[in-house]
Amino acid sequence: MAARKKIIVIASLIIFIILAIFVYYRYYFVFGEGVKAGELNFIVKKGYVFKTYEGKLIQSGIKSRQIGSVQSNEFEFSVADKAVAEKMMSNSGKIFELHYKEYKSTLPWRGFSKYVVDSIVTMREP
């Protein structure tokens, strides 16, 4: 009896640890980070239960993934900090350089995008 209980406890701990590592890697591990620059198209606060700030940056130039096609280079992101989002809201249309972190997946309280802006590097007139 004691041996079976010990096996169940050890197996439960192993499953819990594997699950914790998976959740951390999937939702909290910063996969990449960098800076994107462009003209701020919009930033809005939206959501049903969790209100998050979502925005779009239009980067200069044209990027084409296929030969013969034209695609604008847009960067859609979520904003983690309310103060950063409000500063961006009051300066829409300006050129921003934004520092962001890329996650593997989204969380409802973090935003709709896997790219999360955490700070403004620079801001200038177009």
Q: Mean pLDDT score of the chain, rounded to an integer?
A: 90
| Model pLDDT, residue 93 | 86
Domain span including residue 69: 31-124
Domain assignment present for residue 11? The answer is: no
- Per residue in 35-62, pLDDT tens? 999 999 999 999 889 999 999 999 876 6
Strands (E), 22-92: 30-46, 52-63, 71-79
Domain assignment present for residue 13? The answer is: no
- Transcribe 108-120 into DSSP letters: TTT-SSSEEEEEE
Band of pLDDT at residue 67, cut at 50, 70 and 90: low
Domain assignment present for residue 22? The answer is: no
pTM (2 d.p.): 0.79
Assess whether pLDDT exceeds 80 at residue 68. no
| Model pLDDT, residue 126 | 81
**What's the first-to-final CA gap in the chain, in angstroms?**
74
Buried b (16+ CB within 10 A) or exposed e, 55-78: bbbeeeeeeeeeeeeeeeeebebb
Domain assignment present for residue 56? The answer is: yes
Domain assignment present for residue 113? The answer is: yes
Q: How many domains does the chain have?
A: 1
Q: How many angstroms separate the CA atoms of 11 and 95, rounded?
A: 54
Domain assignment present for residue 107? The answer is: yes
Domain assignment present for residue 15? The answer is: no
Domain assignment present for residue 24? The answer is: no
Q: 49: domain CATH number? A: 2.40.50.140
